[in-house]
Amino acid sequence: MERIGFIGLGAMGGPLAGHLVKNGFDVTVFDLDDQAVARLTDAGARSAASIAALAADSDIVFTCLPNSPDVREVVLGADGVLDHLVEGGMIVDLSTIDPTSTDELVKAVVERGRAFVDCPIGRTVDLAEQGEALFMVGASGNDFGRVAPMLEKMGSTIRHCGEAGSGIRTKLINNFCAIAIAQVNAEALALSQAFGLDLTETLETVNGTTATNGHLARLWPAKVFSGDTEPGFKISLAAKDLGLVVDAAKTAGVPVFTGAAARQALVLACQTEDYADKDFSALVDVACHHAGQPPARYSK
């Protein structure tokens, strides 16, 4: 059985690592949050004292980290994964980072005779907890076959998008749609509040037309419309991801006018009161705040 190392046990990484442990994989974990580590060791994982120790005792190392500098430091830094990973080892990055960083990682890892797979995660934290995450995988055919048994236990949908580097680029397309549409939803519902419309009636109408989307039909009714803005996917992370989209589009020479406007709206949201650390469904609260309207909530 492959020995698995898992670095990054946050809102997404923790549940995914937990699924591997629950399904009988040999898992060693590392995180700066001692409580996150304890939750996994209580479930049956082993903990490592350092990234270097984890890498030396693993055949496949998963990373699930907040941003590009974190991933580069963990993988390429002094006493990082690459310096200690066993011969024939593989690194699987589940993070959402900029594509140029992924390309840098692929080149460095392959030059050292190890394999690299970029495998960002789709869907929400609650679905990851239920084992229903979606994975967008960039990998050679052989590397995809090697990592697939683990992904099958962590999620319900696996998309092989192409060679290494294609997974993160697919994720940016996905997040472009998801986050920009969320901002449009937020502004539309702030307007509905100003019009004095009933939220339930408005949603039933919109969800019966082509204007419907997953936020309005599923996520937001369970979250912000019910008064729950505890973070699954923070507004600050949504702003970061949309920034990656706009920057990648600029590099590719592709104008993204709506994306740029949505990015500015999310930057503003992060600067408004304490919204940066709320769930990104709370974008509707930000829009209502700027419109001088009450939050959109179901009537009690």
Rounded to whole angstroms, how far apart are CA atoms 60 and 28? Answer: 10
Query: Which active-site residues does the annotation give?
Result: 171
Rounded to whole angstroms, how far apart are CA atoms 132 and 143? Answer: 22
What would the 3-class secondary structure string for 88-108 be? CCEEEECCCCCHHHHHHHHHH
Centre a 10 Å sphere on the Cβ of residue 300 and count the other Cβ atoms it contains.
Answer: 4
Rounded to whole angstroms, how far apart are CA atoms 177 and 171? Answer: 10
Mean pLDDT in consecutive groups of 10 residues from the start of the chain, 300 residues? 96 97 98 97 98 98 96 96 97 97 98 98 92 98 98 98 98 97 98 97 98 96 97 95 97 97 98 96 98 93
Distances (CA, A) of 287 to 49, 198, 268, 293: 44, 17, 10, 8
Rounded to whole angstroms, how far apart are CA atoms 163 and 165? Answer: 6
Q: With the CA atoms of 173, 116, 60 and 153 taken in that order, what torsion angle do they form, in degrees rounded to the nearest 10?
A: 30
| DSSP designation for 253 | T
Exposed / middle / buried, residue 18 (Cβ in 10 Å: 0-12, 13-18, 19+)? buried
Give the predicted TM-score (pTM) of the model. 0.93
Check if the beta carbon of residue 242 is closer than 8 Å to that of residue 180: yes
Domains of the chain: 3-164 (3.40.50.720), 170-291 (1.10.1040.10)
Q: How would you classify the pairing of strands 121-122 and 133-138?
A: antiparallel
Angle ∠(116,42,21) on CA atoms, nearest 5: 35
Rounded to whole angstroms, how far apart are CA atoms 127 and 154? Answer: 10
What tokens were used for 198? Answer: 């009933």
Rounded to whole angstroms, how far apart are CA atoms 118 and 104? Answer: 12
Confidence at residue 300, expressed as pLDDT on a 0 to 100 scale: 65
